Chain A
Amino acid sequence: VKDGSWTVLQLVEALGSCLENTDPRTRGRGIQLLSQVLLQCYSLLQEKEVLHLVLFYENRLQDHHLVIPSVLQGLRALSMCEVLAPGLAVSVLKAIFQEVHVQSLLQLDRHTVYSIITNFMGTREEELKGLGADFTFGFIQVMDGEKDPRNLLVAFQIVRDLIVKNYALGPFVEELFEVTSCYFPIDFTPPPNDPHGIQREDLILSLRAVLVSTPLFAEFLLPLLIEKMDSDLQSAKLDSLQTLTACCAIYGQKELQEFLPSLWSSLRREVFQTASEKVEAECLTALHALSACLSCSVLSSDTEDLLDSFLSSVLQDCRHHLCEPDMKLVWPSAKLLQAAAGASLRTCHRITCSVVPLLLEQYTKHPQSSQRRTILEMLLGFLELQQKWGHVEEDESALLSLRAPVCSVVFSAMTDPSVQLQLVGIRALTVLGSLQGFLSPPDLELVVDHLLRLILHEEDSQSSEAAMEAAGSLAPLYPQVFSGKMVPRLGEELRSEREEEGSRAPRCLQQRCLQALAAVSTHTSIVRETVPALLQHLRQVQKGSEARNAQDVVSVCQSLHRVALQCQQDAESCWYYHQTVVPCLLALAVQAAMQESTHLPLGKALLEEEALAAMVPVISAASTHLSPELAAQSVSHVVPLFLDGEVSFLPQNSFPCSFRPFEGGERLEAQRRLVALLMAFVCSLPRNVSQRLLRELLALSCSCNCPFTATTAAKCFAGLVNKHPAGQQLDEILQLAVNRMEPGLVEGPHRTQALTLLLWVTKALVLRYHPLSSHLTDKLLGLLGDAELGPAAADGFSLLMADSPDVLHKGCHADVRLMFRQRFFTDNVPKLVQGFHGAGPDVKANYLKGLSHVLNHLPKPVLVTELPTLLSLLLEALSCSDRVVQLSTLSCLQPLLLEAPQIMSLHVDTLVSKFLSLASSPTMAVRIAALRCAHALTSLPTAVLLPYKARVIRALAKPLDDKKRLVRKEAVAARGEWFLLGSPGR
């Protein structure tokens, strides 16, 4: 038939005797054959053939029940024909409705019926609509009593289409509702190994789509939901609440009117009584949706406004609870009110008008700071809702009339001795500031004063930090006030502190000033005042001669770094910052280095490792976001400075001698250290390298005696190589590097330097999947067996896998491939394991250490899948006596205990003994990690743990008496959790 050598007519004729046979089985087989053919060839049929086949099949519907399944298959094939004549669809459906009792068929055959209906609904919508409500009624009968989830999904879809596509429901609305709502709430657990993959959630969602598809169902659905909210099953509650939320999207006041009191009392009861956060959250969402629905319904002039009476009852039931800040119902009431208030501008206005004055009054009535804190936190919630509606006309804003009392409450909280209350006060202040036009200019002055007082003089660091954050978020809204009032005050404090010098307390003040200057730099105009102030301070600090100055340099740099991060998004401030800060830092450093080389005692602070290390992120952050043109402009200044000593672009560029960091000679040691700053700059730019610079860096990294300089040069080289475009130039420079490294690794005074270079170059290449990386990694694996370099090489694996903070990360445009860790893992872990088994006893630990570093940095989901094969090795690593291995393995195991409890519970016996014995390790960090693991053990299935409970509790009594407080703390936490295992009330 497919080839066209037979027609369907010929087939029917040939089957003739079979189709007319008196034995129903034979007849069935004949029809089955015909139906199978039709299913494959329905698109080839002629209109006339279809007509005859339809008539034949309709007729067969009255046949023996054995025949029916095949008949339905045939009709399904025909329902997919495009050439079906008008009227036939209707007649097929009528015949099915009339002749077939669908629910007595098998699941598959019922599914066929639904498919026929779906097919016709898809292609013959107009014809079916001609049937009117009869079609709806017919379908109701078809699906009445359906039990199979597969069929239900289809049936629900059909009902939804019936409603959404406006088929006539006629008098059958209630029947249609009954026939679907009887499944609500869905209670279905898919059988294990279910091949159909239908989840409970699928059924819930498709049934919900039906129930909320029309307001006509409202009068039946709402009582049902109210009833099910009272159910004992949490899932039923949740489903009812979610369905209610969904309903509100299409209902209006008319549908809800009758049920509002009972809906409200159910919601209130649930929120007041429930212990489940989920139920509470869903109730609040439903209340929000309900209020939103009531707010946006269009009213005719004569009906009363339901919103008003609804909110009145909400207020009536919740308001008085707000007056008892110690009682349980305070927060549920506040949350209910906030959910309703968040629904629309009108609800917000209405509820704020009533609640905010009450809270203000309660605040003055309750003198205890814990009560005040609760009240202020509630007030804060209502203020935050105001933010949502943005700027409101003055006469409409209920809040504006309360400006004075609100401000005085918030200010009083900020002056309260309780830190907790201060913190809430600061948050409230931030919200008030973000309400446009709420704070008057005198208020703002007060705000700045309060913030300054907290920043400079509050003893608790939490409060002063919160105040800085608040200043940072308010500064862009009121730049004049902050740049005019706060920045000068901070600058003054900074100067006066520096002049006084001496006692320890002012240093803390100076620290706070620096942090505050950074925090408040959130607006272009403010940045232009704070950056010069910070740089000025840096110059002064650097002139001082005391040993503590390096620490001061670090503090200033931390503040500068923060400013840099805040400027990055704004191109203009970013360029301003780059132009101002980078030359200034370079100039200061160059000057210091020259003084050093001419043997003056000054300027040392700036060259300390920690000071240079603190400048690195500043320069890096100032350079990463530059546009390519500006970056090129900057490169043309900085690179010649290092290669040729071109100092002309630096401010105050009269130096006693020339700057030659890449030349040999003992006296230039200080100048060479500045390679760190070069690294910060050039490694942060998209890509821009001169070959000469690469060669100089390579030479420096291999030959320099100072470890800091050598490491920095190696990092800089690696950072540039990582970004270097592939090609001959790259191959040449890499070959050069390998040639210098390999002899260096074998022997000589610079073995450590060669290893450092190897590590960094390997990292640079591993990140970009360069083919040479596997060669270098093998070299590294070989070094694990080296007695001298082995431990350092093992630690190097952590460097390879971890994110480096200053170079070779995404932020500084490095070429980092996705999943490089997984790739490194699959390539190298088998070699590590193999190496471990083959290694001598004295170097075995190196392999374990390398392995545990690799595992430690691997994404946890990957690790969980690899766990079964590696676990035995990890357990062996726990017995290793090296404490770095122990620590790293414990920190690797701890998250696994939480994430893969099933696999871990197979080894519970070993784990318990190992953790308990490591809990008395001589190293504090190991003890802490072991106790954390013992704590994490409690997340394994309780039944597995119970046999060990007594033993663990007894063993954990000992670390309770540890001489270190941090260890005792972990022991208390772990032991407490073990006590709760398997006992009631956990």
Chain B
Amino acid sequence: LIRSINDPEHPLTLEELNVVEQVRVKAMFAFRQVNDAESTVAVEFTPTIPHCSMATLIGLSIKVKLIRSLPERFKVDVHITPGTHASEHAVNKQLADKERVAAALENSHLLEVVNQCLSARS
């Protein structure tokens, strides 16, 4: 679901930049048990450089894409691969905060960038 997200400033996808890798995605779910409270998806992503200013935005894009693409019962957890970003803790905190994510999507500039990341490349 997330490999084809575009990077906000490179002409490449997150997969091509090795920002997301399959080994860093953990999912626990069973599609048969619709009410399973244990359904979670955890994604670790690796910013291209430790000071990457786009880290929050990339995380937000991944989170939004997953929220839009997964059934509601899933708990979506997006965070930075430990030790790969200078302000790892702050970014993780922002991404985990539901209200801040919702508020960010109210901002039309942010929403525009996120949508661009999620649009299919022509």
Question: How close is A117's CB to chain B, nearest CB, in angstroms?
Answer: 48
The stretch of A337-345, A495-503, A788-796, A971-979 in contact with B is: A971-979
Chain B positions within 8 Å of A692 at CB level: none
Chain B positions within 8 Å of A986 at CB level: 115, 119
Q: Flag if B1 contacts A328 (CB, 8 Å).
A: no
Do A328 and B11 form a contact, CB below 8 Å, given A975-B68, A980-B118, A980-B119? yes
Do A370 and B18 form a contact, CB below 8 Å, given A972-B1, A983-B111, A985-B114? yes
Q: Flag if B32 contacts A980 (CB, 8 Å).
A: no
The stretch of B52-60, B69-77, B79-87, B91-99 in contact with A is: B69-77
User: In the complex, what distance in Å separates the CA atom of A368 from the CA atom of B72?
Assistant: 38
CB-CB contacts below 8 Å: A932-986 with B: 957, 960-961, 963, 972, 975-976, 979-980, 983-986
Q: Flag if A960 contacts B71 (CB, 8 Å).
A: yes
Task: Considering the complex, give the chain B residue whose CB is closest to the CB of A978.
Answer: B68
Question: How close is A557's CB to chain B, nearest CB, in angstroms?
Answer: 38
Centre residue among A326, A327, A368 by max chain B CB count within 10 A: A326
Chain B positions within 8 Å of A328 at CB level: 9-11
User: In the complex, what distance in Å separates the CA atom of A909 from the CA atom of B89?
Assistant: 48
Chain A positions within 8 Å of B17 at CB level: 326, 370
Q: Flag if B111 contacts A370 (CB, 8 Å).
A: no
Q: Flag if B108 contacts A984 (CB, 8 Å).
A: yes
Chain A positions within 8 Å of B114 at CB level: 985
Q: Flag if A976 contacts B65 (CB, 8 Å).
A: yes
Chain B positions within 8 Å of A961 at CB level: 31, 34, 71, 73
Q: Flag if B71 contacts A957 (CB, 8 Å).
A: yes
Q: Flag if A984 contacts B115 (CB, 8 Å).
A: yes
User: In the complex, what distance in Å separates the CA atom of A983 from the CA atom of B64?
Assistant: 14
A120 within 8 A of B: no
Question: How close is A962's CB to chain B, nearest CB, in angstroms?
Answer: 8
Q: Flag if B11 contacts A980 (CB, 8 Å).
A: no
Task: Considering the complex, give the chain A residue whose CB is closest to the CB of B18.
Answer: A370
User: In the complex, what distance in Å separates the CA atom of A963 from the CA atom of B111?
Assistant: 31
Do A331 and B11 form a contact, CB below 8 Å, given A957-B71, A957-B72, A976-B65? yes
User: In the complex, what distance in Å separates the CA atom of A86 from the CA atom of B118?
Assistant: 75
Q: Flag if B113 contacts A963 (CB, 8 Å).
A: no
Cβ contact of A985, chosen from B12, B71, B116, cutoff 8 A: B116
Question: How close is B121's CB to chain A, nearest CB, in angstroms?
Answer: 11
Question: How close is B40's CB to chain A, nearest CB, in angstroms?
Answer: 15
Q: Flag if B119 contacts A985 (CB, 8 Å).
A: yes
Chain A positions within 8 Å of B108 at CB level: 984
Chain B positions within 8 Å of A327 at CB level: 10
Q: Flag if B9 contacts A985 (CB, 8 Å).
A: no
Chain B positions within 8 Å of A980 at CB level: 115, 118-119
Chain A positions within 8 Å of B111 at CB level: 983-985
Chain A positions within 8 Å of B32 at CB level: 963
Centre residue among B9, B32, B71, B109 by max chain A CB count within 10 A: B71
Do A972 and B69 form a contact, CB below 8 Å, given A326-B10, A326-B17, A963-B31? yes
B38 within 8 A of A: no
User: In the complex, what distance in Å separates the CA atom of A976 from the CA atom of B114?
Assistant: 12
Task: Considering the complex, give the chain A residue whose CB is closest to the CB of B32.
Answer: A963
Do A984 and B112 form a contact, CB below 8 Å, given A328-B9, A961-B34? yes
Centre residue among A368, A370, A961, A985 by max chain B CB count within 10 A: A985
Do A985 and B72 form a contact, CB below 8 Å, given A370-B17, A972-B1? no
Q: Give a binary string over A291-328; 1 marks a CB under 8 Å from any B CB, 0 the rest.
A: 00000000000000000000000000000000000111
User: In the complex, what distance in Å separates the CA atom of A368 from the CA atom of B1?
Assistant: 24
Task: Considering the complex, give the chain B residue whose CB is closest to the CB of A984.
Answer: B112
Chain B positions within 8 Å of A960 at CB level: 69-71
Cβ contact of A976, chosen from B11, B18, B69, cutoff 8 A: B69
Question: How close is B33's CB to chain A, nearest CB, in angstroms?
Answer: 11
User: In the complex, what distance in Å separates the CA atom of A986 from the CA atom of B117?
Assistant: 9
Question: How close is B37's CB to chain A, nearest CB, in angstroms?
Answer: 15
Centre residue among A957, A961, A972, A980 by max chain B CB count within 10 A: A961
Question: How close is B65's CB to chain A, nearest CB, in angstroms?
Answer: 7
User: In the complex, what distance in Å separates the CA atom of A368 from the CA atom of B12?
Assistant: 15
User: In the complex, what distance in Å separates the CA atom of A370 from the CA atom of B3?
Assistant: 14
Cβ contact of B69, chosen from A331, A368, A975, A983, cutoff 8 A: A975
Chain A positions within 8 Å of B72 at CB level: 957
Chain A positions within 8 Å of B71 at CB level: 957, 960-961
Chain B positions within 8 Å of A326 at CB level: 10, 12, 17, 48
Task: Considering the complex, give the chain A residue whose CB is closest to the CB of B39.
Answer: A961
User: In the complex, what distance in Å separates the CA atom of A327 from the CA atom of B34?
Assistant: 44
User: In the complex, what distance in Å separates the CA atom of A75 from the CA atom of B8?
Assistant: 68
Question: How close is A280's CB to chain B, nearest CB, in angstroms?
Answer: 12
User: In the complex, what distance in Å separates the CA atom of A209 from the CA atom of B71?
Assistant: 60
User: In the complex, what distance in Å separates the CA atom of A736 from the CA atom of B120?
Assistant: 59
Chain A positions within 8 Å of B9 at CB level: 328
User: In the complex, what distance in Å separates the CA atom of A979 from the CA atom of B69?
Assistant: 10
User: In the complex, what distance in Å separates the CA atom of A972 from the CA atom of B118?
Assistant: 12
Chain A positions within 8 Å of B16 at CB level: 370
Question: How close is B25's CB to chain A, nearest CB, in angstroms?
Answer: 15
User: In the complex, what distance in Å separates the CA atom of A790 from the CA atom of B118?
Assistant: 48
Question: How close is A217's CB to chain B, nearest CB, in angstroms?
Answer: 38
User: In the complex, what distance in Å separates the CA atom of A326 from the CA atom of B16?
Assistant: 10
Task: Considering the complex, give the chain A residue whose CB is closest to the CB of B65.
Answer: A976
Task: Considering the complex, give the chain B residue whose CB is closest to the CB of A420.
Answer: B16
User: In the complex, what distance in Å separates the CA atom of A327 from the CA atom of B48?
Assistant: 12
Question: How close is A52's CB to chain B, nearest CB, in angstroms?
Answer: 70
Q: Give a binary string over B16-33; 1 marks a CB under 8 Å from any A CB, 0 the rest.
A: 111000000000000110
Q: Flag if A979 contacts B68 (CB, 8 Å).
A: yes
Task: Considering the complex, give the chain B residue whose CB is closest to the CB of A331.
Answer: B11
User: In the complex, what distance in Å separates the CA atom of A980 from the CA atom of B114?
Assistant: 10
User: In the complex, what distance in Å separates the CA atom of A979 from the CA atom of B105?
Assistant: 12
Chain A positions within 8 Å of B109 at CB level: 984
User: In the complex, what distance in Å separates the CA atom of A986 from the CA atom of B113?
Assistant: 9
Question: How close is A946's CB to chain B, nearest CB, in angstroms?
Answer: 15
Question: How close is A625's CB to chain B, nearest CB, in angstroms?
Answer: 40
Chain A positions within 8 Å of B31 at CB level: 961, 963
User: In the complex, what distance in Å separates the CA atom of A791 from the CA atom of B69?
Assistant: 39
User: In the complex, what distance in Å separates the CA atom of A331 from the CA atom of B115?
Assistant: 24
Chain B positions within 8 Å of A963 at CB level: 31-32
Task: Considering the complex, give the chain A residue whose CB is closest to the CB of B122.
Answer: A277
Chain A positions within 8 Å of B65 at CB level: 976
Do A985 and B10 form a contact, CB below 8 Å, given A957-B71, A976-B69? no
Q: Flag if B118 contacts A976 (CB, 8 Å).
A: yes
User: In the complex, what distance in Å separates the CA atom of A619 from the CA atom of B70?
Assistant: 51
Question: How close is A880's CB to chain B, nearest CB, in angstroms?
Answer: 30
Chain B positions within 8 Å of A985 at CB level: 111-116, 119
Chain A positions within 8 Å of B69 at CB level: 960, 972, 975-976
Chain A positions within 8 Å of B113 at CB level: 985
Cβ contact of B68, chosen from A331, A370, A976, A984, cutoff 8 A: A976
User: In the complex, what distance in Å separates the CA atom of A777 from the CA atom of B14?
Assistant: 57
CB-CB contacts below 8 Å: A317-363 with B: 326-328, 331
Chain A positions within 8 Å of B10 at CB level: 326-328
Question: How close is B3's CB to chain A, nearest CB, in angstroms?
Answer: 13
Question: How close is A199's CB to chain B, nearest CB, in angstroms?
Answer: 26
User: In the complex, what distance in Å separates the CA atom of A957 from the CA atom of B74?
Assistant: 12
Chain B positions within 8 Å of A370 at CB level: 12, 16-18
Chain A positions within 8 Å of B112 at CB level: 983-985
Chain B positions within 8 Å of A976 at CB level: 65, 68-69, 118
User: In the complex, what distance in Å separates the CA atom of A327 from the CA atom of B49?
Assistant: 13
Chain A positions within 8 Å of B18 at CB level: 368, 370
Task: Considering the complex, give the chain A residue whose CB is closest to the CB of B109.
Answer: A984
If A972-B1, A976-B69 are given as contacts, then 9 extra A-B residue pairs at C-beta distance below 8 Å, sorted by A number, are A326-B10, A326-B12, A368-B18, A370-B17, A960-B69, A960-B71, A975-B68, A980-B118, A985-B113
- 14 A-B contacts (beta carbon < 8 Å): A331-B11, A370-B18, A957-B72, A960-B71, A961-B31, A961-B71, A972-B68, A972-B69, A975-B68, A979-B68, A979-B118, A984-B111, A985-B111, A986-B119
Task: Return the 5 tightest CB-CB contacts between A and B, nearest first.
Answer: A985-B112, A985-B115, A984-B112, A961-B71, A972-B69
